[in-house]
Structures are given as C-alpha cells and as structure tokens.
Structure 1
Amino acid sequence: MWVAGIDEAGRGCICGALFVAGVIGREENIAHFGAKDSKKLSPKQRERIYQTLLESQHKGEIGLFVVQIEAWEIDKFGLSIAMKNGIEQILCRIADFATSQNLKGQNLAGRENGLEEIIIDGNTTFHAKIPHSLVQWGVGVRTLIKADDTMPIVSCASIVAKVSKDRQMQELDRLFPQYSLAKNKGYGTLQHKKAIAQNGYCPHHRKSFKILMQECLF
C-alpha cells in the first residue's frame, strides 16, 4: 500500500519562509528510513535521513515535494492562507505523482498497493481544496495531531520541511549575521528580538507578526 504525509516547518517563526513538505511512497519502504519527529532528531540525523530520502526519490521509489512560502507572502495574505496554499500545492503534486505511478487504477481496482489517504500533521487542513482527481479516486485527506511522531510517512515530511527551513536560516545567517539566525532558526527568542530592536528588520522578517519588544528593555 502507498502512503502519503504532509507537514510544515517555520510556521511560528518571525523570520524566513514557511516550508510545507509532502512525501509519498510504499509503506514498507517508508518504514526503512527510520524517520521520527524531526524535533526529536539531531541535525546530523535529520540530514542523514534527508539524504536517504533524496536518493530514494532519484530512484523513483518515492515522491518528495517542498513548497517555500516567503515572509512577504505571509505578511500579505496571512499565515492561515499561506498554510492553505502550501498544502494545496503539495496535494496537487502528490496527485500528479499518483497519476504518474498509475495509483488511480490500482486503488479503484481495490488492490492493497494503491493510495488510500493522505495524512496532514495537526488538527486542520486550513480548508485546503483537495484536487478533483484525488476526490474522484476516493483518496481521503485526514488530519492527525502529532502524526509527525506516530506516522513514519509524516515523520519523513517533517524532516524534509525542517531541513529545508534550517538550510535557509543558515544561508540568511551568512547574509545577516547580526540576528544569529543559524542559532535561533528564525524563532522569536529574546536575543533575536533584541537584535531586531537594535538593527531593525531584515527583508526576510515577518513584519506582520506581533513582536513584544517590551521584554527587550529588561
């Protein structure tokens, strides 16, 4: 049976992009990656699994997709719309992959190696529109709290999103070292807020996010 999962990284950050990732593959193959919730893995462990996922993708064994939604888009449309758009793009790419692998026919034939559902980490789809092809094929979309910790396919998506986010933060840290982005990963730590108070925003900060600068005074 084929399984698919979606997760994100950077949703709560005050700097950098939101990354939404999706992975689809055969259940028995996904189990071999040894994926866990990305927050419970070291950076080296995440990178190792990420590289293994890329190798599997290059062999055509899995589908791996990442959508990057920049800070300016989040400021313009809001975080919920950004999440909705990201999930919709990933769903479309999963649908395209399923078509290329002829999972439609397998699923409708009732075989166990078809795609039955796509699991999204969390408790909401953000009202994302499901591609007509998936609806037509009877592929369900289900949310599950802590799916990144209990479902290996979602754990894989979690790792892809997290590695993508961290790599961007490392790149931005080289461009804007005053914010220590490689260390705080774009989250609103006290030191990060103090750096904003002293230096202002960089072009990649989410200016629509409410940052409590009062605590920087103490």
Structure 2
Amino acid sequence: MKKLTIQEIEQQLLVEGEDKKQLVQTLRQDERKGVQRILDKWERLREKEQLLHKKFLEMTSFEGALRHQGFQFIAGIDEAGRGPLAGPVVAAAVILPEDFYLPGIDDSKKLTEQKREDYFERIKLEAISFGVGIIGAAEIDTINILEAAKKAMLEAVTQLAPNPDYLLIDAVKLETPYPSESLIKGDARSITIAAASIIAKVTRDRMMKEISREYPEYGFSSNMGYGTAEHLEAIKRYGVTPYHRKSFAPVKDYI
C-alpha cells in the first residue's frame, strides 16, 4: 500500500468528525520524521482542545444548576474600568442560549486583544440578549466608583429583552427585582459572566481608543486610562482632561 504524503496526512488529521484512532496507530509506525512531527503537533492540539472543553464545561456549572431549578434567562453581569484614572466604567449584561459553545472563553483580562475581539463578535451574534451601561468620569467623581459600577450594571440589565429571571454577578451585590448570586472571580467561573466581561472590556477599550484620538498625548489607546508611567508623565506635563477622574489620586493632585 502506497504511503500517504505529508500533505495528505495533514489533510486527513484535519477532517472533523472522523475517528482518528486507526490512522494515528498507523502513523506511529511511520519512520519518517516529518510524519512524527505532524502527529506530535496534532496530539498537542487535541490535548489543548480537550482541556478547553473541560474548562468550558466547568464554567457552565452555575448555569446548569440554575436551569435544573427552572430558570431560563440567566444573565451574566460584569464591568470593566474600575481601576483606571481616566475614562468611563462600562458594564455588560448577557443572556446566552443553553446550547452556546465557545471553548476558550474566560475572564477577558486573560485573553489576547484579538481573542477578545473575535469572542465579542461571536457573543453579540449568538446571545439571546445583551445590554451595556456606561458611567462617565464626572459621575464617577460624584457618586464614587463602586456606586458607578453598580449603576452601570443596573443600566445594562434594563436593556435586556426578554427580562432575565436570574442574575449571576461578578463580585458585587445588586439590588434588583431578580434573584441573583454574586460570584467572586465569576468571570473565570461562569460562561455568562465571562461573556459579559468580554462585552464590557471590548466596548470600553474601543471608547478609550476614540478618546485617544482627541487626546493622543496620554496614550489612552494603549494604557486604557490606567496609571502607567507614560500616562502619569502626560498628566504632569499637560494637566487633566474632561475624561480624568478628578477624585482619584494622583489625578486630584494636579487640579
């Protein structure tokens, strides 16, 4: 029997839905180094896929338990931008369908920018509903950052249609008419909170890039308003902008 070429082997390994057990056993007997390299690479990718699948299933445990209790529209809620010196705080609320599957979804801070952008579009496309709440710097200074984050979350929830029947919230407690649970590090433990964290962060990052066009000296497109050395030096040199949180140190020291 004629041996498969390297290209043919790669093509066969890429075919989805086929049992590769017999093929892998055959390839393990192939003495060509190129074949063994391809097989090793394929097995590493398979192992990574299996780990991502396992992690995804673990992150559905809260949603699965709630659906078992009869809840249908479970909203995950998270925010982005509590720590920066400039820019808004942005919150998102997301209701996902029961059959949503996106292995690799996680706390938005653990993902690359490209992954966040890709997942952002996928979540928007497949979500039953999502909402976004935005509170600017001036209001943050008036009511404080924690209250601003909560207000943004509540605004995001009001945009959901259909209305949620349960809320999974990252780290904070909200006063709402809906039953809820607050999860510490929920964006790494629940797929709906992780989805909300991605919507919130990508939305905020895009806003900061827009602000950076108006105030390029501060490097907002890269630091996203956080207190990097570049940002702090720009505050010293140029002063504060309308987007800076004047109640935050060290911003308030330069007013």
Partner of 2:19: none
**1:87-124 CA deviation, whole Å, 9 max, x = no partner?**
22233334x5237xxxxxxxxxxxxxxx4x311111x2
Q: 2:86 aligns with which of 12, 15, 20?
A: 15
Partner of 1:121: 170
CA contact (8 A) 1:25 1:63 kept: yes
State the structure with more CA Rg: 2
Q: CA deviation at 1:213?
A: 9.1
CA contact (8 A) 1:33 1:49 kept: no
**1:37-84 CA deviation, whole Å, 9 max, x = no partner?**
101111111111111122224xxxx11111111111101221122122
1:5 aligns with 2:76: yes
1:130 aligns with 2:169: no
In structure 2, C-alpha distance between the alignment counterparts of 1:91 and 1:56, rounded to whole Å: 18
Number of aligned positions between the proteins: 183
Q: CA deviation at 1:187?
A: 0.5
Give 1 or 2: higher strand fraction.
1
Q: CA deviation at 1:191?
A: 1.8
In structure 1, C-alpha distance between the alignment counterparts of 2:212 and 2:156, rounded to whole Å: 28
Q: CA deviation at 1:150?
A: 1.3
In structure 2, C-alpha distance between the alignment counterparts of 1:213 and 1:74, rounded to whole Å: 13
Q: 1:72 aligns with which of 115, 138, 158?
A: 138
Q: What are the residue-to-residue correspondences of 1:54-65 with 2, within 5 Å?
A: 54-57=124-127, 62-65=128-131
Partner of 2:217: 178
1:209 aligns with 2:248: yes
How does the TM-score come out when normalised to structure 1?
A: 0.77
Q: Which runs of 5+ in 2 are unaligned?
A: 1-66
Q: Evaluate the alpha carbon distance shift between residue 33 and residue 51 of structure 1 in structure 2; reply closer, same or farther with a 3 A threshold.
A: farther
Q: 1:191 aligns with which of 230, 235, 249?
A: 230
1:35 aligns with 2:105: yes
In structure 2, C-alpha distance between the alignment counterparts of 1:16 and 1:5, rounded to whole Å: 23
CA contact (8 A) 2:133 2:152 kept: yes
CA contact (8 A) 2:92 2:133 kept: yes
Q: 1:85 aligns with which of 144, 148, 151?
A: 151
Structure 1: which 4+ aligned runs deviate by more than 4 Å? none
Q: CA deviation at 1:130?
A: 0.6
Q: Which runs of 5+ in 1 are unaligned?
A: 100-114, 135-139
